[in-house]
């Protein structure tokens, strides 16, 4: 009987203790869980916060009023009575007059930073953040697990039951699941998992990531350049650190709520003091002064002790944010106290709902940090300058490895991804869909099959037909081998025919890569030996084009380009890129140039021995033999690889290059000695909410006496596409120099001004301003306009329309534009500021097409 009464008493005590608590979940009206929402007994100093899944628990106090609230939602209050259920499902309605209207209201109340307790608290938080930074330790390390999933979003239940597509493809229907992030039906199509060991040493300072395991499944494995998807997702949705002054996300910089400029950028409000996992915290909400600026709205839970460390935080994009394509994004982070008393990031979750080209997409990222340690690390781990290293077996880890390191379980759709993609590949219509997708996205037509990957690709497709002054219509057939044939040896070539010139052209190159490639030879890092030969026609300005000169879209020119030349070129190159940003480019080139169209190589009048009937002596062609060495340093730059190019996706990295070209006479037919030195610098500067500024500074010197084809020509843009590194209103071969300095400053203001104009701000347009200038000079030895050089046998007469800079006066252009029109189009007005004259256009309109967030 004693045992019976004891057990009964314990059960009753347990029931009473359970009933003494209220648990539940907090959702928004769309079914999203609301992380870090507050449950508060106002006036009683009893409060708790929901976890990252919206779940909460708080002590029961009958007779008290319990209020649930979160930034941007209408608070909901209930009176706790004995009949109140012990488990609640709370749905908060979005406040139609929430943040946008709150800003207006606060303006009327003249929100002031002076004597504002929230501002004073945030000043203390910002001042204290350096004291809790892990970089203060001599060594530290941690393991990081990250899972990024890309899904088709918001699939309607009605479509699953009535749509013919899903009825005929049951395996697709089986892949569909409900997202825990937004409660909508989604179709996961790719998942990427990475396990990384991060190590740090303070003196000398070195920080490295060691990739211990990486696994990728999904549609990205179907395309040969499918790595683009994973690379872009990791670049666009980078890991953010609230302790940085600016957090890089969506390829832009967002002001951190605890950054150095946070007080002036955000408005802060103290809501209450709450307990988060038994730690007493200050609960603050924040919003940008202007919600269209690139900032967050969200909540901070700051420890109410001397450390003032962030315990939890939650970010979202304001409803009126100027960010493109992202309809909704949530980031939640949680910090954990380590055994040594330090606080470190442990949980970092992100979900972003996007709409691009009419398709709804969901990107989710789950990141966990664990195994923090501060012991001394072996010096051998820090050898080499590469910031990221891969363990030998990183790409082929077994299930046992993933079971050990996977700290976030895979969903049904993620775990069955491999089988799902296999079923898709077996679909009879899939090969035609894939054929069209590859031709459009990759600009190449593959010759492989579903079972055997393409060893030879036909393309680029956009070069099949083009137009120029000499050839009129030009047809081209081209192709290349892939790494599926050989991972070290590659061939690329083309044949072209001009309908007007009746000329046949060709170009071919053979590349041997010292390191094995996945798809194409120019993948980073390049360690290639290249031999190329070709015969073709081009204009001097074609070398400044950002695309292939035979690209059909490059055929549309802003001016008549009739000064062209045929070239016959043989070139041997060696390119070596290190993992940490330094690269070496060396080459040996023999080339002959024959003028055509309205371009002519004409001897100086006094040096004519065999003049034509018009008294001029024409030179049929010139030949040069050149050796070149270039050093380039660009730390931290990342690339995505297409089949035609590789494009840098991280433009924040500074770029420095120095090159020297030497021409040798009487070697391989070379006719001239020359020495040309050139240096270039690029740097992007972020201005917080004012956008960013791209700067270019170039300079070069031609040291020897040479004819004008070997002089320096300014970077002329002869297309309708604006690019900050070229001049849009300068004519082809208008200026020729042997000394030059070029500068460009381009400011993308991210809509800072237009976002403050009524009605206009709804269009989300962005301002763009650039100033470009070039100073150049022509030394006497290379100036054919001087009387003393009229008898010189080496110099040629300047081509029609060419001239020199006068009196050290630089050439200037100014561009003012509106970007982000329809989230795609840029329209720029370009004004030529000086060197006017007959046939010179002062004004022009240029265009650009860009997808940016």
What percentage of the chain carries pLDDT values higher than 90? 43
Task: Inform me whether the pLDDT recorded for 106 exceeds 50.
Answer: no
Mean pLDDT of the chain: 85
Q: Is residue 87 part of a domain?
A: yes
- Angle value at C-alpha 350, between 296 and 390, nearest 5 degrees: 120
Closest Cα to residue 326, out of 263, 254, 225? 254
Per-residue DSSP letter, 256: P
Of 400, 422, 444, which one is at a domain's C-terminal end? 422
Do 84 and 175 reside in the same domain of the chain?
no
Residues 73 and 140 in one domain: no
Separation in Å, CA 318 to CA 352, 598, 739 = 13, 58, 51
Most confidently modeled range among 209-213, 615-619, 639-643, 750-754: 209-213
- Residue 652's H or E segment, with its range, is none
Closest to 775 in 3D by CA, of 804, 800, 748, 751: 804
Of 89, 535, 44, nearest in space to 272 by CA: 44
The encoded tokens of residue 93 equal 């309605």
Distance CA 654, CA 696 (A): 10
**Is 748 among the domain residues?**
no
- Provide the pLDDT for residue 16: 40
Lowest-pLDDT choice from 128-132, 459-463, 626-630, 741-745: 128-132
**Percent of the chain with pLDDT strictly greater than 70:** 90
Confidence tier at 661 by pLDDT (50, 70, 90):
very high
Mean pLDDT of 767-794: 93
Assigned domain for 799 exists: no
State how many domains the chain has. Answer: 2
Residue 676: per-residue pLDDT: 97
Tens of pLDDT, residues 153-170: 888 877 777 666 666 677
Give the phi and the psi of residue 848 in degrees, each rounded to 5: -150, 150
Note whether residue 596 is domain-resident. no
498-521 pLDDT tens trace? 999 999 999 999 999 999 988 889
Tell me which residue range forms the domain holding 79: 19-96
Average pLDDT over residues 588-599: 95
Question: H/E/C letters for each residue in 790-846?
Answer: CCCCCCECCCCCCECCCCCCCEEEEEEEEEEECCCEEEEEEEECCCCCCCCCCEEEE
pLDDT of residue 440: 65
Confidence of residue 289 (pLDDT cuts 50, 70, 90): confident
Output the CA angle 269-273-274, nearest 5 degrees: 120
Half-sphere exposure of residue 376: CA atoms within 13 angstroms, side-chain side: 3
Q: Does residue 245 contact residue 684 with C-beta atoms inside 8 Å?
A: no
Is residue 82 located within the same domain as residue 214?
Answer: no
At 235 the pLDDT is 74
Residue 72: closest CA among 11, 113, 30, 131? 30
Lowest mean pLDDT segment, chosen from 438-447, 581-590, 811-820: 438-447
What CATH number did the domain enclosing 41 receive?
2.60.40.1120
Q: What is the pLDDT of residue 275?
A: 85
Q: With 80 as the cut, is the pLDDT of residue 103 above it? A: no
Average pLDDT over residues 209-214: 91
**246 and 371 share one domain:** yes
Q: Is residue 650 over pLDDT 80?
A: no
Residue 106: burial class (beta carbons within 10 Å; 0-12, 13-18, 19+): middle
Say if residue 232 is in the same domain as residue 156.
Answer: yes
What residues form DSSP beta bridges with 807?
Answer: none
335-364 average pLDDT score: 89
pLDDT at 46: 77
- State whether 88 and 145 are in the same domain: no
Question: Same domain for 86 and 177?
Answer: no
Degrees to nearest 5, angle at CA 592 with 591 and 596:
135
Please check whether residue 219 lies inside any domain of the structure: yes
Q: If residue 81 lies in a helix (H) or strand (E), which one and from where to where? A: none
Distances (CA, A) of 392 to 206, 405, 461: 22, 17, 38
What letter does residue 227 receive in the DSSP assignment? H
189 & 142 share domain: yes
In a domain, 46, yes or no: yes
Domain assignment of residue 601, yes or no: no
pLDDT class of 19 with cuts at 50, 70, 90: very low
pLDDT band at residue 607, thresholds of 50, 70 and 90? Answer: confident
Separation of alpha carbons 690 and 717, rounded Å: 28
What average pLDDT does this structure show over 837-849? Answer: 90
> How far apart are the C-alpha atoms of 749 and 547, rounded to whole Å?
27
With respect to residue 626, please indicate whether it lies within any of the assigned structural domains. Answer: no
Strands (E), 393-515: 445-446, 456-458, 465-468, 472-481, 489-498, 504-513
Per-residue confidence (pLDDT) for residue 227, from 0 to 100: 62
Tell me, what's the pLDDT at 704? 96
* Final residue in a domain of this structure, among 379, 396, 422: 422
Top-confidence residue, 322 or 507 = 507
Decide if pLDDT at 128 tops 90. no
Distance CA 309, CA 21 (A): 28
* Residues 173 and 242 occupy one common structural domain: yes
Of 389, 422, 455, which residue is a domain's last?
Answer: 422
Burial string for 475-494 (b: 16+ CB within 10 Å, else e) reads ebebbbbbbbeeeeebebbb
Q: Is the pLDDT of residue 752 over 70?
A: yes
Mean pLDDT, range 21-38, rounded to an integer: 81
Q: What angle do CA 611, 612, 617 make, to 5 degrees?
A: 50
Element (H, E) at 578: none
Higher pLDDT, 507 or 759: 507
Residues 38 and 143 in one domain: no
Q: What is the mean pLDDT of residues 109-128?
A: 85
pLDDT reading at 623 higher than 90: yes
**208 and 153 housed in the same domain:** yes
- Nearest residue to 477 via CA among 490, 464, 488, 467: 464
Looking at the fold, whether 77 and 160 belong to one and the same domain comes out as: no
pLDDT band at 109 (very low <50, low <70, confident <90, very high): low
Tell which wins on pLDDT, 81 or 72. Answer: 81
């Amino acid at each position: 009987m004693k045992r019976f009464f004891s057990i009964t008493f314990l059960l009753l005590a347990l029931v009473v203790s359970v009933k003494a608590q209220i648990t539940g979940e907090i959702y928004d009206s769309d079914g999203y869980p609301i992380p870090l929402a507050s449950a508060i007994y106002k006036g009683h100093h009893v409060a708790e916060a929901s976890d990252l899944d919206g779940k909460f628990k708080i002590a029961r106090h009958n007779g008290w009023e319990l209020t649930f609230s979160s930034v941007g939602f209408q608070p909901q209050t209930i009176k706790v009575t004995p009949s109140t259920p012990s488990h609640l499902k709370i749905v908060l309605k979005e406040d139609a007059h929430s943040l946008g209207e709150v800003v207006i209201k606060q303006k009327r109340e003249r929100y002031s930073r002076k004597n504002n307790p929230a501002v004073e608290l945030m000043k203390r938080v910002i001042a204290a953040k350096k004291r809790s930074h892990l970089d203060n330790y001599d060594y530290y390390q941690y393991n990081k697990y990250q899972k990024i999933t890309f899904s088709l979003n918001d699939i309607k239940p009605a479509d699953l039951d009535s749509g013919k597509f899903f009825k005929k493809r049951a395996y697709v229907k089986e892949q569909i699941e409900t997202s825990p992030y937004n409660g909508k039906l989604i179709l996961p199509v790719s998942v990427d998992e990475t396990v990384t060991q991060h190590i740090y040493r303070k003196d000398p300072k070195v920080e490295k990531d060691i990739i211990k395991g990486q696994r990728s499944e999904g549609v990205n494995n179907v395309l040969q350049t499918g790595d683009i998807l994973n690379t872009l997702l990791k670049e666009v949705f980078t890991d953010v650190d609230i302790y940085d002054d600016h957090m890089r996300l969506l390829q832009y910089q967002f002001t951190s709520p605890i950054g150095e400029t946070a007080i002036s950028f955000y408005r802060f409000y103290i809501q209450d003091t709450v307990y988060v996992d038994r730690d007493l915290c200050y609960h603050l909400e924040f919003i940008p002064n202007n919600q269209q600026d690139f900032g967050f709205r969200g909540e901070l839970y700051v420890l109410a002790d001397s450390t003032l460390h962030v315990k939890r935080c939650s970010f979202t994009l304001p409803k009126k944010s100027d960010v493109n394509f992202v309809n909704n994004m949530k980031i939640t982070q949680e910090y954990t106290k380590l055994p040594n008393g330090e606080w470190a990031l442990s949980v970092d979750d992100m979900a972003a709902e996007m709409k691009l080209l009419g398709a709804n997409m969901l990107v989710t990222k789950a990141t966990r940090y664990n195994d923090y340690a501060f012991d001394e690390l072996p010096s051998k781990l820090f050898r080499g300058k590469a910031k990221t290293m891969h363990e030998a077996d990183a790409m082929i880890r077994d299930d046992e490895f993933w079971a050990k390191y996977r700290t976030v379980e895979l969903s049904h759709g993620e775990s069955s991804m491999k089988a799902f993609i296999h079923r898709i590949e077996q679909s009879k219509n899939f090969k035609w869909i894939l054929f069209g997708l590859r031709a459009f996205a990759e600009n190449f037509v593959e010759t492989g099959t579903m079972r055997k990957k393409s060893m030879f690709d036909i393309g680029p497709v956009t070069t099949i037909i083009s137009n120029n002054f000499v050839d009129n219509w030009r047809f081209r057939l081209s192709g290349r081998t892939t790494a599926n044939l050989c991972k070290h040896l590659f061939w690329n070539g083309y044949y072209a025919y001009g309908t007007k010139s009746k000329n046949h052209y060709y170009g071919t190159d053979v590349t041997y890569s010292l390191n094995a490639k996945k798809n194409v030879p120019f993948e980073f890092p390049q360690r290639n030996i290249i031999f190329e030969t070709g015969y073709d026609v081009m204009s001097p300005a074609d070398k400044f084009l950002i695309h292939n000169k035979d690209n059909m879209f490059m055929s549309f020119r802003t001016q008549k380009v009739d000064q062209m030349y045929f070239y016959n070129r043989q070139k041997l190159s060696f390119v070596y890129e290190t993992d940490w940003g330094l690269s070496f480019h060396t080459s040996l080139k023999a080339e002959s140039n024959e003028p055509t169209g309205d371009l002519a190589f004409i001897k100086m009048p006094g040096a004519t021995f065999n003049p034509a009937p018009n008294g001029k002596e024409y030179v049929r062609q010139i030949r040069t033999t050149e050796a070149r060495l270039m050093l380039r340093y660009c730390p931290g730059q990342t690339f995505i690889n297409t089949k035609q190019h590789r494009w840098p996706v991280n433009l924040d990295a500074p770029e420095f290059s120095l090159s020297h070209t030497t021409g040798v006479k009487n070697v391989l037919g070379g006719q001239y000695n020359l020495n040309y030195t050139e240096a270039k610098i690029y740097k992007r500067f972020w201005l917080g909410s004012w956008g960013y500024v791209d700067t270019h500074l170039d300079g070069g010197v031609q040291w020897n006496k040479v004819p004008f084809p070997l002089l320096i020509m300014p970077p002329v843009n002869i297309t309708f596409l604006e690019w900050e590194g070229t001049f849009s209103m300068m004519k082809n071969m208008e200026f020729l120099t042997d000394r030059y300095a070029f500068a460009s400053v381009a400011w993308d203001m991210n809509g800072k001004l237009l976002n403050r104009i009524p009605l206009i701000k709804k269009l989300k347009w962005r301002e763009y301003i650039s100033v470009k200038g070039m100073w150049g000079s022509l030394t006497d030895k290379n100036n054919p306009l001087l009387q003393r050089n009229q008898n010189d046998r080496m110099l040629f007469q300047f081509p029609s329309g060419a001239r020199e800079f006068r009196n050290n006066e630089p050439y200037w252009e100014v561009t003012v534009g509106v970007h982000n029109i329809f989230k795609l189009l840029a329209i720029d007005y370009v004004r030529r500021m000086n060197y006017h004259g007959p046939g010179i256009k002062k004004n022009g309109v240029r265009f650009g097409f860009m997808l940016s967030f």
